[in-house]
Chains A and B, each alone.
Chain A
């Protein structure tokens, strides 16, 4: 293969990115030359694994039934951070208040997967595959969302990334995606004296290998390692005011911000946070749910601050496999339920509003007599982001077997 214009542009861009003295906006412009403008649009998906209790996260404090059904673990009126007179945030979500006021943060309540399963694994699988009720889907919707995008002139190694040790279901598929546990560990041979020698030998082996699969994957790997090295994301310190809390989720988002700021061409990204399965002693304003919500909101708010003007082209969506029972159980906890709450944060988001139809909590309004009913399919929310933000109109491929007409969008993106 000769030196094509594409390769020249790519190498040129790398050279610019690799020069620390060049202002970041110039480096960004260099990347802009590589692909179309859609390259700058980013979709970040956050999964709350374990079924978060949406009713104690965005609290329907205007609903008497809520207090009747949760005598011990409700969030009292005086503790709720009111949003619109009917809904309010859990007090651990204080970091979300400014984002709500600036209208960057929108909420979709009574949303989720329509599938009736109460199994964590099945439900997560369905939401990541994007095909509730269909086990046979082999790839994830976030991967398919790239697949159907107009073919970019260049495929950056970090187009799709998951923070964590292995590639999650949502990003598996035909588009190359990188799982990254820690930026520091994404090297060959570590910090030993022989590292560069070892790395160059492996590279020669894989580059010359006739083994098509390992050759291809090896090439991607060495490209990614080199790109990461030259972009040196570690030099992008968190912006002032971006105070990530300790812990895995904060680390994930801090590193994701570094990768985005280092201009590695990130288009879709995924991170997850566990610790939501509160069957026993859920707590209310204090306790288990308060603690995990604090980490959740502090991490996301820090990430948003850290992105700075890059937030303009970023949409962040949170989801969880299902909600929890409307009533508390005998152990001051809640059990597996149905509909839940989703947060949508970003530059193009028309925030400061709770979207979706509220189904109510009266006995007759509950799903199967016990759970918050579902009024918004999660694919409606994701579909809007994929079609209107990522500009991939081919929703039938991203979410097969689902009528995802733009007329049904909640219109939460400006």
Chain B
């Protein structure tokens, strides 16, 4: 109030407030479907040539782009966006996006790995993707759940006596994007 509505000062105060940096504020909010889809696209660095399919995905998650008719706008509350069908929508989107099954969206595995070539070792791939998609801040529960399945031939893509092949990083990426951590901001 003292700054006569100078937005710069207001934001400066906000950003320097202890509440802003409090542990409790970290990943305190559930992403809306739009935030979820946008952050997944950004985190994976996929190449979007046609955004129509992404907006269609938003319709399925109940948040049609610019489609909220009442002037109140879309809810920012977690309860609105956390329900069975919404969670299913998110997990399924995570899987189809990272595996390149959304039309108009191209996935490049070197992009996913932040310009590194995909490691052949699944454990290394998981660690690298945790860093790339969630800034390395992944709960033990999520990490262990994925790690426990890395040796599954469907993910390691390895046959017992076959040659070593690159790990299935798109599936690992999909699992991370659908994890509880990625639903928060």
Which residues from chain A sit less than 8 Å from chain B, CB to CB? 121-122, 125, 157, 165-167, 172, 176-181, 185-190, 192-194, 197-198, 200-202, 204-206, 208-211, 213-215, 217-218, 220-221, 224-225
Contact = CB atoms under 8 A, between A and B. Distances in A.
Contacts of A220: 84
B174 A214 contact: no
Consensus secondary structure, chain B interface: helix
A179 B141 CA distance: 28
Contact of B88 (A188, A197, A214): A188
B171 interface: yes
Contact of B180 (A121, A179, A198, A209): A209
Given A165-B60, A208-B145, A209-B141, A201 B83 contact: no
A210 B60 contact: no
Contacts, number: 116
A63 B164 CA distance: 84
Which of A176, A185, A194, A202 has the most B CB atoms < 10 Å from its CB? A202
B34 interface: no
A41 B92 CA distance: 34
A121 B70 contact: yes
Given A165-B62, A172-B80, 17 more contacts: A121-B70, A167-B85, A186-B88, A187-B88, A189-B95, A194-B171, A197-B155, A197-B171, A198-B174, A201-B149, A202-B91, A211-B181, A214-B82, A214-B183, A217-B83, A217-B87, A224-B84
B87 A221 contact: yes
29 contacts: A122-B70, A165-B59, A165-B61, A165-B62, A167-B83, A176-B83, A179-B62, A185-B92, A186-B88, A188-B88, A190-B95, A193-B154, A194-B154, A194-B155, A198-B174, A202-B178, A205-B146, A205-B180, A208-B145, A209-B139, A211-B181, A213-B78, A214-B87, A214-B183, A215-B180, A217-B87, A218-B87, A220-B84, A221-B88
Contact of B84 (A157, A202, A210, A215): A157
Interface residues of B, number: 42
Nearest to A224: B84
A179 B144 CA distance: 31
B148 interface: yes
Which of B83, B92, B139, B179 has the most A CB atoms < 10 Å from its CB? B83
B84 A221 contact: yes
